[in-house]
Amino acid sequence: MEEIITLDYGSGGKKTSRLIEKYIVPRFDNAALKSLGDGAVIPGGETLAFSTDSFVVDPLFFPGGDIGKLAVCGTVNDIAMCGAEPRYLSCSLILEEGLEMETLERVLQSMSAAAEAAGVQIVTGDTKVVDRGRGDKLYINTAGIGVMRHALGGLQAVKPGDAVLVSGTVGDHGTAVMLARSGMMQGEVKSDCAALNRLTEAMLASVGGIRILRDPTRGGLATTLNEFTEGQLFGIELEEAAIPVRPEVQASCDMLGLEPIYCANEGKLTCICASEDAEMLLRVMHALPEGENAAVIGRVTEEAAGKVVMKTDLGGRRILQKLAGAQLPRIC
Amino acid sequence: MEEIITLDYGSGGKKTSRLIEKYIVPRFDNAALKSLGDGAVIPGGETLAFSTDSFVVDPLFFPGGDIGKLAVCGTVNDIAMCGAEPRYLSCSLILEEGLEMETLERVLQSMSAAAEAAGVQIVTGDTKVVDRGRGDKLYINTAGIGVMRHALGGLQAVKPGDAVLVSGTVGDHGTAVMLARSGMMQGEVKSDCAALNRLTEAMLASVGGIRILRDPTRGGLATTLNEFTEGQLFGIELEEAAIPVRPEVQASCDMLGLEPIYCANEGKLTCICASEDAEMLLRVMHALPEGENAAVIGRVTEEAAGKVVMKTDLGGRRILQKLAGAQLPRIC
């Protein structure tokens, strides 16, 4: 086997077979994947959640993760946020001619480890190769299926007084990737890339008042909270001092001219829940490493309907908009 | 809205929302897609088929289809070949900075029409933008879920004497794309790009002896039949004269130095079935436009185990290998 990807590997012929059989299938070993053909047959029975994401992060490897771990955790999290238990993933690769086989192996190994850690199986996939200069080493798409476990109230259940929580420090992933890309010192800032399905399951099993869960990825916490309030009859008021930010992330953001609340997270969630459930929910979250820095960061208000307002450390009030432009392209 | 894609559209912020709300959601309008969040919740109940494919075809538009139609039909067909009824698709876009919005619209319109024709819903999706020179206008991933309707015998049920069928002329798609790419005259040769779920349903409902179904895409008919025989105790003997090939496809292949049996198809299937079912199956296939040129092209043999042998028009015998290299990169 050559040590780099050539166009042959995308032909659908012998080389494609060898790539799949030698590199890909052994990493994701399971009965559904081994079954013949391009589709996987999986046992069913319940209402399903279905999600997909393509990953184009640059660079492929960064402190705390890589494109493979990201591709597994990202789709696992999208499914977990629906109140579902993630079960099965697909993995589709777009390889650029010239990619080192060793790089591909590292990424597949990382996907395999992340899938095992999250308790999901990669059961079907696809491989395409594009000519040099028409990709950037490696893009990955994952789609996922989960089984619905908990019905969430949804935005229509949100009431003034409800609590707004975040599961930990914000901005870690976006800052880590920007530092890695710029080649600046990166030792201290690590991506938070992690699967959150264990956390969501514990949260949803413990209280009934969770209205909505969302992982604030591209666009960060500020953008996700705007997605909650947009067009609604309620607003959100945040306490800047209550939002957990690692000092090294804040320092790096200051240097890069970014704001942590607009930087992507890949292992955090934000949620709105009934105020009487907030304390119990925090206890449950603090008991797991994924939620050890969870905090109540604000509340739902009748005023400022449709808006997200932040009470700043200096006592002022600031309206947070959605991220307006390309703050951080190719962050995931 | 600008007329080209800029990096902003991939930021996860305002522009991404506008792209999704203005261009994407209206095309694929359905209840599951409109539900909040990154995942779709879909009603479940049965054993499922799950498949994915990324599409990187060059050029995006070719006689008989485009990347959008291909992305829908390709995944629909992978699911149909499992014996399942395709139901739900995801759609994930990797857009290159600078893509004309008009091009994207045409492709989305084509996906929407293809989904409607095939009876499937696009229920979830994702959009990423990569910088200029790191993609090629537009790559699409679709993943799909289908509900299992028919259990196939599988390769273990194949017996000497079984019939090998193809649903129509071979090589149309690969030849059409190669001609379009080379800029040569292309009026006569059209891609066969089509959804085959209606055909497979009719076939599986009519006879019980279908062992295996497969759509011979990249690598063509010869490669797919090799996937059937590889490592098995049976071989396949084909009659060259029985394999349907359009004269204009044969002429173009001769000119391009290609062989139709190694060229991709995107609206054809091949199957192995019990010999006593072959006649009935042909009748059922001939009754649908997708199967109007269906033919028995060979049979399963005890001799030449593991191999595909073709009796040529001139009376000779030739062993068909899997496609060895990159005959046709970026054909789908």
What per-residue confidence (pLDDT) applies to B33?
Answer: 64
Q: Where in chain A is the domain with CATH 3.30.1330.10?
A: 7-148
Indicate whether B181 pLDDT > 80.
Answer: yes
Q: Closest partner residue to A50 among B39, B126, B155, by Cβ?
A: B39
Indicate whether B10 pLDDT > 90.
Answer: no
What per-residue confidence (pLDDT) applies to B36?
Answer: 45
Which among B6, B36, B173, B178 is the top mutation candidate for probing chain A, defined by the most A β-carbons within 10 Å of its own β-carbon?
Answer: B36
Residue B56, both tokens? 């990187």
Q: Residue A237: which of A162, A158, A171 has the closest Cα? A: A162
Distance CA A288, CA A284 (A): 7
Q: Is A316 helix (H, G, I), strand (E, B) or coil?
A: coil
What per-residue confidence (pLDDT) applies to A243?
Answer: 98
Whole-number average pLDDT of chain B: 91
pLDDT tens column, B92-106: 999 999 999 899 989
Q: Which chain B residues are within 8 Å of A325, Cβ to Cβ?
A: 8, 11, 13-15
The DSSP secondary-structure symbol of B132 reads T
Distance CA A50, CA A146 (A): 7
The whole-angstrom distance between residue A304's C-alpha and the CA centroid of its chain comes to 29
Name the pLDDT band for B1 (thresholds 50, 70, 90). Answer: low
CB contact under 8 A, B40 and A50: yes
Report the residue count for chain B: 332
For residue A29, count CB atoms less than 10 angstroms from its CB and return exposed for 0-12, middle for 13-18, buried for 19 or more: exposed
pLDDT tens column, B214-267: 999 999 999 999 999 999 999 999 999 999 999 999 999 998 889 999 999 999
Contact call for residues A87 and A49 (beta carbons, < 8 A) = no
Indicate whether B13 pLDDT > 90.
Answer: no
Distance CA B72, CA B89 (A): 8
What per-residue confidence (pLDDT) applies to B235?
Answer: 98
Q: Where in chain B is the domain with CATH 3.90.650.10?
A: 155-320
CB contact under 8 A, B130 and A328: no
Among chain B residues, the shortest Cα distance to A148 is held by B41
What per-residue confidence (pLDDT) applies to A114?
Answer: 97
Q: Where in chain B is the domain with CATH 3.30.1330.10?
A: 14-148
From first to last of the 332 residues of chain A, give the pLDDT tens digit: 568 878 777 777 777 777 778 877 787 777 666 554 566 666 666 888 999 999 999 999 999 999 999 999 999 999 999 999 999 999 999 999 999 989 998 999 999 999 999 999 999 888 899 999 999 999 999 999 999 999 899 999 999 999 999 999 999 999 999 999 988 766 689 999 999 999 999 999 999 999 999 999 999 999 999 999 999 999 999 999 999 999 999 999 998 889 999 999 999 999 999 999 999 999 999 999 999 999 999 999 999 999 999 999 899 999 999 887 665 779 89
B50 strand-pairing partners: A40, B145
Domain A155-320 carries which CATH code? 3.90.650.10
The DSSP secondary-structure symbol of A314 reads T
What per-residue confidence (pLDDT) applies to A5?
Answer: 79
Beta-strand relationship, B61-62 and A308-311: unpaired
CB contact under 8 A, A48 and B41: yes
The verdict on ipTM greater than 0.85 is yes
Distance CA B116, CA B111 (A): 9
What per-residue confidence (pLDDT) applies to A151?
Answer: 87
A271 strand-pairing partners: A165, A213
Q: Which chain B residues are within 8 Å of A227, Cβ to Cβ?
A: 17
What per-residue confidence (pLDDT) applies to B25?
Answer: 77
The DSSP secondary-structure symbol of B100 reads B
CATH architecture of B14-148: 2-Layer Sandwich (3.30)
CATH class of A7-148: alpha beta
pLDDT tens column, B118-141: 999 999 888 899 999 999 999 999
b/e A198-214 (16+ beta carbons within 10 angstroms → b): bbbbbbbeebebbbbbb
What per-residue confidence (pLDDT) applies to B5?
Answer: 79
Name the pLDDT band for B317 (thresholds 50, 70, 90). Answer: very high
Cα angle, residue B287 at apex, residues B286 and B290 outer, rounded to 5°: 70
Provide the H-helix boundaries in B48-206.
67-80, 101-118, 172-182, 197-206
AA identity, residue A176 = A
Global pTM value? 0.91
Which among A126, A217, A221, A262 is the top mutation candidate for probing chain B, defined by the most B β-carbons within 10 Å of its own β-carbon?
Answer: A126
Contact call for residues A320 and A226 (beta carbons, < 8 A) = yes
What per-residue confidence (pLDDT) applies to A32?
Answer: 62
Contact call for residues A223 and A263 (beta carbons, < 8 A) = no
Q: Is A50 helix (H, G, I), strand (E, B) or coil?
A: strand
Which among A128, A132, A217 is the top mutation candidate for probing chain B, defined by the most B β-carbons within 10 Å of its own β-carbon?
Answer: A128
CB contact under 8 A, A94 and B94: yes
Higher-confidence residue of A19 and B36: namely A19
CB contact under 8 A, A10 and B326: yes
Residue A121, both tokens? 């199986």
